[in-house]
C-alpha cells in the first residue's frame, strides 16, 4: 500500500505540475510493483512443408504484450508469461499464422512447437498503412504490398530502395545513376501522377515522415540524381516495408499521398537474453562494359594521329566494406534493439566514394499496464565524394569523356593538365583535383505512446523528427574549365542546408461491442507536419594557388533561403465487419497545406472500400479467396521548392550598388489549390493447392485532375508564367504477383515469386499548349499521349514505302530543317510523295514501359545451402541515347560511328561526310529500345554449423557470395538502359525545370556497376 500511496501522491503532484516530465520517471516507479506468478514457454517454429526451422517468426502470447522472435533454427523462448491457460500465436510473413493453446505453470516451462504452412496470401497478416490502426489484411479493401526483413536482407543492397527493386508489382524502381552509396534511385508507383510534385511516394519510418530529397546544393550535373536521402537508412535495421500504391489506399494521407505511401518499420527487438548479430561484407564493383570509342588512327584528312581510350583511366574496380552489429533483447516491459552500421565504398568512377556510419536505438517500454512507449532514435553520418556527371559539361567527368575528341592527350605535362579543345574539362584533372564532398548529419527519431484507457479504446500519439544537416562543398582548382567565366579562376563553394521535418499524429480507435453478426470499429485522428529547409551558400572565385575552402577566394558571393511548409489534417474512419467475411470501410480526411491559398486550402479526401472473404483455410484446390474493391481520393502538393507559389512576389535586382526590386516573372496564384487524384481498384487474392501457389491481382484506374504546372502568361505583361492547374492525366493498369512452391522436400526446396505489371498513362486534357516537360530536351506533355513522350525531329520518309529519304550524299533529311525539306508544304509533299512529312516534329518514342516483370527463384539444398536469383525486367520503353549523340557531335567526334566517316572511300563501312552532323538534328535517330532484363541479384549462402563453429557461434555462420546487376540483356547500345539523366525530385532551388514525366534520357550518366560481394553473418 505504501508504494501505491506514494505513487498516487506523485501523480497528483504531476497533475498540478509538469505531467509529461513524470512519464520519464515511470519505469523507475513501476519497477517497485509486485511481480505476479509467471512461467516460461519455449518451442520451435518449423516449415510444415519440409520441417526446417523458421527464423524470424513472431511468437506472442495472445492478450499480452509478451512476444519473441524465433532464432535461426526456429527456436524461441517466452519468459515471464503469466500463469494460466494461454494462447500462443505464431506468425511469419509468407506463412499462415497458427495459434496454439497451452497452460503455463508458475515457475514451469511449457513447450509449444508450431509448423507453419506456406502461404503467400496471408489474409491474417496485420498491416498498418492506409488503415489508421493495425488491421488484418483481409479487412482492408485495397492492395498492400509488404516486404519483410528476410527479403531485404538477402538482397545485400546498399540502400533500401535498391533492395526493393524487382520485389513489388506496380512499382518502377529505377537506378538513375550508379554512383557509390546506392546511387540515385527513383520509385514510381503506378505511373506518373504529377508533373511538379515528382514521382516520389510519401516515406514514413516508424511514424516519422522523412525526406527523400535528391536536391543538389551545388551543380553536380544539372538535374542529375547522384543520391537520394533514403540512402541514409541502414537496410539491416528494417523489419518490414508496407507499400500502398495509390489514392484508393492512401486517402488517409490526404494531400501528400497521390504518389502512394511507403511505410518502413524498423526492428523492435525480441524478448529474451541479449542476442548479438554481426555481419560483415566485402564488395567489389566494376564497370560492366566499356562503350566503343573512335580509335581510328587517322584524322579526317587521313593523317595518322594517336587515339586514347580514357575509359581505362576514368573507371576502375572499386572496393567496399560494410559492418553491421545488432543487439536485441528484452524482459517484461522492455524490449530493445540496438544497431551500429559502417559502410564504405568507392565508386567505379575514380575519386568517387561514399561512407555511411550510423547507430540506432529502438526501445519499447511498458510504462503502465495500459500505456506503452515506443522510442526510436537513429543517427547517421554520410560522407560522400562525388564528381559531376549528366548535364554538367564544364567540369563533369562523363560529359568530358563524351565530348572530348579521342585524339587529345590528357596526360599532365609538368603538372599542367591540358584542357580539351571545345567542351568539358580534362577528366584526369577532374579525378585528381576537383572535389565535391558532401557531409550529411541526420537524426531520425520518434516517440509513440499507446494508451488503452479502456479495452475497446486505443489512443496513439506519435511525435517524429527528421533533422538533416547537409553540407555540400565544391572545389574547382584554377584553370580547370574552359572559357573566360569566373570559374576559370577557381571556385570554392560551401552550401549548408538544414532540413527539418516534424510530424505529430494522434489516432483514437474504438472497437464497439459486436451487434449480432456486425462488428464496428471507429477511428479518428489528426496529423500535423511541418517541414523547414534553411539554406545558406558561400561561393568564392579567384582562388589562391593553395587552399580548397571558400576562404581561399578573392571574389565572394553569398545567398540564403528559408522555406517552410506545413500540413494539417484530420480524419475519421468507420469500419464494419459482417459475419467476419464482408468488411466495409468508409473514411474521410480533411486536409490543409500552407502552400495553398486560404480559400482553397481545406480539402476533403474520402475513401470507400469493401473486402469479401469467399473462402478461407479450406482444403482442396482453392484454399483461400478474397475479393476487394476500393474507391478513394488523394492529393499532392508541390514540394518545398514551390512552397510560396500563392504569393505575388518581387525579387531583388540590385543595380549600381543599390538594392532594387522588380516583379517576379512567375506570377503568384492567390487561388492555388492541390492536385487531386481519384482512383478505384479491384482485386483478389487466392491461395491454391494447399499454399503451393498464391496469387494477388489488382486492376486500378486513376485520374489525376487539377495537375499543377506553369501556365504561360502573355510576356507582354512583364510576367512569364503562373503556377496553376493545367489539365488531367490518367493511369490504368494491372498488377500481378504469383508465388509458387515448386518443390518442397526436406532436403530440397524451390520456390518462385513472379511479378507482372502494366500501366498505361495518358494525358487526358490540357488547357495550355503542349509543352516540353524538361527544359531543353525533346520530351512532351501532349493530350492523348503518355506523359513525357519523345517529341522532336524525325528523318523524312517516302510516304508510300516508308523508306528513308536521303539526300544526294546519302544523308538523312531532317524533318524540321528547310535546308533538307524545302520551305513550302508543297515541296515537303513532293519530296515524300504524300503528307507523312508535313509536320516539323512528331512523337518519336515513349519512355514509359509497356510492362515490367520480375522473377525470383530461391532454392534450398539440404539444410545449409541456399541459392537465390532475381531477374528484373522492363519492356517496351524507349531511351534517348544523348550520350552517343554527344560523341557524334563535331566537337567530340569520338564515337565508333564517327570513325566510319573517317574511313577511306570504298570501305563498305564508310559513311558519307557530314552524315553524323546531320543525325545531330534527327532526334528520332537517337531513340532506342530500352527494354532490358537484368540479373539483379544472384547469391549463394552456406550455413557453417559444424560443432566447431557452433561452439563459437550459436546459430552457426552464414557465408554468402552474391552479385548485383551481374548481367543485362538489352538491345540498348549505351552503358545502361536503366540510368536516367533526371532524378525524381531533382530540379531543386535555382535549377532548371524537370517533372516526374522526364524519363528515358541517357546523357552522361554514371554507369551502374556490377557488384560482387562476400559476406558473413553470425549471431550468439
Partner 1 sequence: MRTISMHTLARNGVLVAVAAALGGCNLDLQNPNAPTEEQVITNVDGVIALATGLQSRFATSYGNFAYTAGLVTDEFAATSAALISISDAEQGAVAPGTAIADNVFNSIYRTVRTADDLLAGADALSSSFDAGTRSGLKALAYAIKAESLGEALQSYQRIPVETFGVTAPEYVSRAEALPVVRALLDSAATAIATTPPSAFFNNNILTPGVSLPNMIQLFRARYARIAGDQTNALAAANLVARTGPAAFSQLTFPAPTVNPFANVTGGTQGIAVRRQFRLSMQPQDQRFTYFVTPSDTLTGRVGALLDRFNRWGNPQAPYPVYMPDEALLIKAEALASQGNAPAAQAVLDSVRTDCTGGRGIDDPKACLAPLGAQLSNADLLSEIYSQRRYELFGTGLRWEDARRRNAVRGPVAAPAVPVDAQRCWLPYAFGERNANPNATFAALPDPTEPSTFPSGCQVQ
680-739 residues in contact with partner 1 (CB under 8 A) are 711-720
Return the number of the residue (290 or 717) whose C-beta is nearest partner 1: 717
Q: How many CB atoms lie within 10 A of CB 219?
A: 21
Contacts to partner 1 from residues 908-947, by CB under 8 A: none
- Closest distance between partner 1 and the C-beta of residue 208, in Å? 14
- From 85-93, 101-109, 175-183, 363-371, give the range in contact with partner 1 by CB under 8 A: 363-371
Task: Give the whole-angstrom CA distance, residue 503 versus residue 254.
Answer: 14
Planar angle of CA 825, 827, 829, nearest 5 degrees: 70
- Closest distance between partner 1 and the C-beta of residue 482, in Å? 6
Q: Is 994 left (phi over 0), alpha (psi -120 to 50) or beta?
A: beta
Residue from 12, 300, 809, 825 touching partner 1 (CB under 8 A): that is 12
- Closest distance between partner 1 and the C-beta of residue 775, in Å? 11
Bridge partners (DSSP) of residue 627 are 612, 684
- Closest distance between partner 1 and the C-beta of residue 892, in Å? 11
Site of grid cell 496471408: 122
Contacts to partner 1 from residues 452-491, by CB under 8 A: 453, 459, 461, 463, 482-485
Return the number of the residue (27 or 506) whose C-beta is nearest partner 1: 506
Return the number of the residue (655 or 905) whose C-beta is nearest partner 1: 655
Count Cβ atoms within 10 A of the Cβ of residue 798 and give its class: 0-12 exposed, 13-18 middle, 19 or more buried.
middle
- Closest distance between partner 1 and the C-beta of residue 488, in Å? 9
Site for partner 1 (CB under 8 A): how many residues? 80
Return the number of the residue (238 or 423) whose C-beta is nearest partner 1: 423
Buried b (16+ CB within 10 A) or exposed e, 456-494: eebbbbbbbbbbbebbbbbbbbbbbbbeeeebbbbbbbb
Residue from 530, 752, 841, 850 touching partner 1 (CB under 8 A): that is 530
Bridge partners (DSSP) of residue 208 are 205
Q: Report the greatest alpha carbon distance in the chain.
A: 107
Residue 684's alpha-carbon distances to 51, 126, 228, 577, 734, in angstroms, are 30, 17, 34, 18, 12
- Closest-CA residue to 14 (of 23, 3, 27): 23
> Which residues, including other chains, have CB under 8 Å from residue 132's CB and lie 6 or more apart?
252, 507, 509, 523, 525, 571, 573, 587
Instruction: Classify 252 as helix, strand or coil.
Output: helix
What pairing do the DSSP bridges indicate for beta strands 272-286 and 261-266?
A: unpaired
From residue 646 to residue 685, the character string flagging contacts with partner 1 as x (rule: CB under 8 A) and all else as - is -xxxxxxxxxxxxxxxxxxx--x-----------------
DSSP designation for 117: P
Residue from 108, 456, 598, 862 touching partner 1 (CB under 8 A): that is 598
- Closest distance between partner 1 and the C-beta of residue 14, in Å? 6
Residue 496 binds partner 1 (CB under 8 A): no
Contacts to partner 1 from residues 863-902, by CB under 8 A: 890-891
Residue 601 binds partner 1 (CB under 8 A): yes
- From 446-454, 844-852, 895-903, 969-977, give the range in contact with partner 1 by CB under 8 A: 446-454
Query: In the structure grid, which three cell numbers stand for residue 886, read together?
Result: 554527344
- Closest distance between partner 1 and the C-beta of residue 183, in Å? 30
Contacts to partner 1 from residues 243-302, by CB under 8 A: none
Residue 599 binds partner 1 (CB under 8 A): no
- From 18-26, 254-262, 931-939, 1001-1009, give the range in contact with partner 1 by CB under 8 A: 18-26
Contacts to partner 1 from residues 532-591, by CB under 8 A: 555, 557, 561-564, 566, 568
- Closest distance between partner 1 and the C-beta of residue 708, in Å? 17
Residue 15 binds partner 1 (CB under 8 A): yes
- From 9-17, 222-230, 408-416, 515-523, give the range in contact with partner 1 by CB under 8 A: 9-17
Contacts to partner 1 from residues 182-221, by CB under 8 A: none
- Closest distance between partner 1 and the C-beta of residue 791, in Å? 14
CA 466 to chain centre: 17
Bridge partners (DSSP) of residue 736 are 697, 756
Residue 510 binds partner 1 (CB under 8 A): no
Task: Give the whole-angstrom CA distance, residue 393 versus residue 381.
Answer: 30
Query: In the structure grid, which three cell numbers stand for residue 260, read together?
Result: 502512394
Return the number of the residue (597 or 799) whose C-beta is nearest partner 1: 597
Task: Give the whole-angstrom CA distance, residue 714 versus residue 768.
Answer: 12
Residue from 83, 576, 768, 903 touching partner 1 (CB under 8 A): that is 768
Contacts to partner 1 from residues 416-435, by CB under 8 A: 422-423
Count Cβ atoms within 10 A of the Cβ of residue 590 and give its class: 0-12 exposed, 13-18 middle, 19 or more buried.
middle
Return the number of the residue (377 or 713) whose C-beta is nearest partner 1: 713
- Closest-CA residue to 1018 (of 342, 355, 323): 323
Do the beta carbons of residue 196 and residue 642 sit within 8 Å? yes
Amino acid at each position: 500500500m505504501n508504494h501505491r500511496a506514494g505513487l498516487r501522491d506523485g501523480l497528483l503532484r504531476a497533475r498540478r505540475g509538469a505531467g509529461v516530465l513524470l512519464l520519464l520517471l515511470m519505469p523507475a516507479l513501476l519497477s517497485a510493483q509486485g511481480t505476479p506468478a509467471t512461467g516460461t514457454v519455449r518451442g520451435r517454429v518449423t516449415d510444415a512443408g519440409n520441417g526446417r526451422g523458421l527464423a524470424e517468426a513472431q511468437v506472442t502470447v495472445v492478450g499480452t504484450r509478451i512476444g519473441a522472435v524465433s532464432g535461426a533454427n526456429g527456436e524461441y523462448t517466452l519468459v515471464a508469461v503469466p500463469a494460466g491457460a494461454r494462447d500462443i500465436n505464431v506468425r511469419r510473413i509468407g506463412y499462415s499464422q497458427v495459434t496454439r493453446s497451452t497452460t503455463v505453470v508458475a515457475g514451469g516451462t511449457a513447450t509449444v512447437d508450431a509448423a507453419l504452412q506456406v502461404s503467400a496470401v496471408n489474409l491474417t497478416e496485420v498491416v498498418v498503412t492506409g488503415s489508421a490502426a493495425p488491421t488484418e489484411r483481409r479487412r482492408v479493401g485495397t492492395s498492400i504490398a509488404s516486404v519483410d526483413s528476410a527479403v531485404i536482407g538477402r538482397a545485400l543492397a546498399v540502400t533500401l530502395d535498391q533492395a526493393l527493386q524487382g520485389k513489388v508489382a506496380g512499382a518502377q524502381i529505377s537506378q538513375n545513376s550508379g554512383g557509390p552509396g546506392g546511387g540515385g534511385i527513383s520509385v514510381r508507383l503506378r505511373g506518373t501522377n504529377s508533373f511538379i510534385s515528382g514521382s516520389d511516394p510519401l516515406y514514413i519510418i516508424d511514424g516519422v515522415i522523412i525526406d527523400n530529397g535528391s536536391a543538389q546544393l551545388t551543380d553536380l550535373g544539372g538535374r542529375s540524381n547522384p543520391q537520394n536521402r533514403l540512402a541514409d537508412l541502414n537496410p539491416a535495421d528494417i523489419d518490414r516495408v508496407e507499400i500502398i500504391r495509390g489514392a484508393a489506399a492512401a486517402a488517409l494521407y490526404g494531400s501528400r499521398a497521390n504518389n502512394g505511401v511507403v511505410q518502413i518499420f524498423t526492428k523492435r527487438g525480441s524478448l529474451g537474453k541479449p542476442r548479438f548479430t554481426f555481419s560483415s561484407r566485402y564488395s567489389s564493383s566494376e564497370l560492366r562494359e566499356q562503350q566503343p570509342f573512335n580509335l581510328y588512327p587517322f584524322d579526317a584528312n587521313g593523317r595518322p594521329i594517336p587515339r586514347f581510350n580514357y575509359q581505362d583511366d576514368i573507371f576502375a574496380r572499386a572496393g567496399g566494406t560494410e559492418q553491421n552489429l545488432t543487439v536485441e533483447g528484452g524482459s517484461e516491459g522492455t524490449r530493445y534493439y540496438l544497431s551500429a552500421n559502417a559502410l564504405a565504398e568507392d565508386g567505379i568512377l575514380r575519386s568517387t566514394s561514399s561512407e555511411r556510419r550510423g547507430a540506432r536505438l529502438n526501445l519499447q517500454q511498458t510504462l503502465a499496464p495500459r500505456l506503452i512507449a515506443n522510442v526510436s532514435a537513429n543517427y547517421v553520418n554520410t560522407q560522400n565524394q562525388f564528381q559531376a556527371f549528366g548535364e554538367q559539361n564544364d567540369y563533369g567527368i562523363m560529359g568530358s569523356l563524351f565530348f572530348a575528341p579521342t585524339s587529345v592527350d590528357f596526360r599532365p605535362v609538368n603538372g599542367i593538365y591540358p584542357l580539351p579543345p571545345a567542351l568539358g574539362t580534362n577528366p584526369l584533372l577532374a579525378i585528381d583535383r576537383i572535389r565535391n564532398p558532401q557531409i550529411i548529419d541526420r537524426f531520425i527519431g520518434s516517440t509513440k505512446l499507446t494508451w488503452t484507457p479502456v479495452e475497446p479504446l486505443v489512443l496513439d500519439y506519435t511525435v517524429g523528427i527528421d533533422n538533416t544537416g547537409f553540407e555540400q562543398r565544391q572545389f574547382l582548382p584554377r584553370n580547370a574549365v574552359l572559357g573566360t567565366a569566373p570559374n576559370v579562376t577557381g571556385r570554392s563553394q560551401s552550401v549548408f542546408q538544414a532540413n527539418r521535418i516534424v510530424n505529430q499524429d494522434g489516432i483514437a480507435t474504438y472497437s464497439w461491442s459486436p451487434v449480432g453478426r456486425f462488428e464496428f470499429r471507429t477511428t479518428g485522428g489528426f496529423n500535423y507536419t511541418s517541414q523547414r529547409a534553411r539554406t545558406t551558400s558561400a561561393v568564392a572565385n579567384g582562388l589562391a594557388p593553395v587552399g580548397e575552402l571558400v576562404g581561399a577566394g578573392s571574389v565572394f558571393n553569398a545567398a540564403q533561403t528559408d522555406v517552410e511548409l506545413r500540413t494539417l489534417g484530420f480524419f475519421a474512419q468507420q469500419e464494419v465487419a459482417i459475419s467476419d467475411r464482408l468488411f466495409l470501410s468508409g473514411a474521410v480526411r480533411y486536409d490543409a497545406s500552407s502552400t495553398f491559398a486560404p480559400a482553397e486550402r481545406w480539402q476533403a479526401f474520402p475513401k470507400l472500400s469493401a473486402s469479401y472473404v469467399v473462402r478461407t483455410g479450406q482444403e482442396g484446390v482453392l484454399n483461400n479467396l478474397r475479393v476487394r474493391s476500393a474507391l478513394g481520393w488523394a492529393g499532392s502538393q508541390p514540394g518545398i521548392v514551390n512552397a510560396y507559389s500563392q504569393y505575388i512576389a518581387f525579387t531583388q535586382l540590385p543595380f549600381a550598388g543599390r538594392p532594387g526590386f522588380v516583379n517576379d516573372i512567375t506570377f503568384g496564384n492567390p487561388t492555388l489549390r492541390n492536385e487531386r487524384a481519384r482512383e478505384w481498384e479491384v482485386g483478389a487474392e487466392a491461395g491454391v493447392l494447399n499454399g503451393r501457389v498464391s496469387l494477388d491481382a489488382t486492376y486500378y484506374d486513376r485520374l489525376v485532375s487539377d495537375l499543377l504546372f506553369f501556365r504561360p502568361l502573355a510576356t507582354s505583361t512583364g510576367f512569364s508564367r503562373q503556377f496553376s492547374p493545367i489539365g488531367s492525366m490518367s493511369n490504368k493498369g494491372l498488377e500481378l504477383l504469383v508465388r509458387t512452391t515448386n518443390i518442397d522436400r526436406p532436403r530440397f526446396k524451390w520456390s518462385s515469386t513472379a511479378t507482372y505489371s502494366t500501366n498505361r498513362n495518358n494525358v487526358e486534357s490540357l488547357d495550355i499548349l503542349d509543352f516540353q516537360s524538361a527544359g531543353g530536351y525533346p520530351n512532351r506533355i501532349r493530350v492523348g499521349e503518355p506523359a513525357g513522350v519523345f517529341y522532336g525531329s524525325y528523318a523524312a520518309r517516302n510516304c508510300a514505302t516508308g523508306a528513308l529519304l536521303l539526300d544526294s550524299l546519302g544523308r538523312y533529311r531532317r524533318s524540321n530543317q528547310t535546308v533538307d525539306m524545302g520551305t513550302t508544304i508543297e515541296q515537303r509533299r513532293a519530296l515524300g510523295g504524300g503528307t507523312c512529312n508535313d509536320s516539323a516534329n512528331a512523337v518519336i518514342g515513349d519512355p514509359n514501359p509497356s510492362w515490367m516483370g520480375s522473377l525470383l527463384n530461391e532454392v534450398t539444398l539440404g539444410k545449409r545451402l541456399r541459392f537465390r536469383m532475381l531477374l528484373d525486367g522492363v519492356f517496351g520503353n524507349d531511351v534517348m541515347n544523348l550520350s552517343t549523340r554527344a560523341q557524334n557531335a563535331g566537337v567530340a567526334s569520338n564515337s565508333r560511328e564517327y570513325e566510319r566517316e573517317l574511313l577511306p572511300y570504298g570501305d563498305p563501312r564508310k559513311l558519307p561526310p557530314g552524315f553524323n552532323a546531320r543525325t545531330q538534328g534527327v532526334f528520332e535517330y537517337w531513340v532506342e529500345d530500352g527494354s532490358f532484363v537484368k540479373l539483379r541479384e544472384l547469391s549463394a549462402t552456406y550455413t557453417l554449423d559444424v560443432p566447431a563453429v557452433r561452439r563459437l557461434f550459436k546459430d552457426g555462420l552464414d557465408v554468402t557470395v552474391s552479385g548485383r546487376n551481374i548481367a543485362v540483356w538489352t538491345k540498348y547500345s549505351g552503358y545502361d538502359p536503366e540510368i536516367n539523366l533526371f532524378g525524381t525530385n531533382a530540379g531543386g532551388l535555382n535549377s532548371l525545370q524537370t517533372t516526374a514525366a522526364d524519363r528515358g534520357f541517357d546523357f552522361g550518366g554514371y554507369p551502374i556497376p556490377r557488384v560482387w560481394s562476400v559476406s558473413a553473418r553470425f549471431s550468439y
